[in-house]
Amino acid sequence: MTINQISQVAIVGGTHGNELIGVYLVKKFKQFPDLIKRPSFEALILLANLRAFEAGRRYLETDLNRCFDIQDLENPMLIQYEQLLAKVIYQQLQESQVDFLIDLHSSTANMGLTILLGNDHPFNLHLAAYLSSINPSVKVLQTEATQKNNRLRSVCELGITIEVGPISQGVLDATLFQKTEKLITVILDYLEQWNQNQTPNSPNTLTLYYPLESIDFPRNEAGEVVGMIHPSLEGNDYLALNPGDQMFVNFDDSVVVYQGKTTVYPVFINESAYWEKGIAMYLTSKQELNILNQ
**Regarding beta strands 159-165 and 138-142, do their DSSP bridges make them parallel or antiparallel, or are they unpaired?**
unpaired
pTM of the model: 0.95
Which domains, ranges and CATH numbers included, belong to the chain? 8-203 (3.40.630.10), 212-275 (2.20.25.160)
- CA triplet 77, 65, 225: central angle to 5 degrees? 100
Task: Show the beta-strand stretches assigned E in the chain.
Answer: 8-13, 42-47, 100-106, 112-117, 138-142, 159-165, 205-215, 227-229, 246-250, 255-257, 265-267, 281-290
Supply the pLDDT for residue 1.
56
Supply the pLDDT for residue 146.
46
Exposed / middle / buried, residue 141 (Cβ in 10 Å: 0-12, 13-18, 19+): buried
Is-contact 241 266, C-beta < 8 A? Answer: yes
Is-contact 33 74, C-beta < 8 A? Answer: no
Residues of the chain below pLDDT 70: 1-2, 144-148, 294
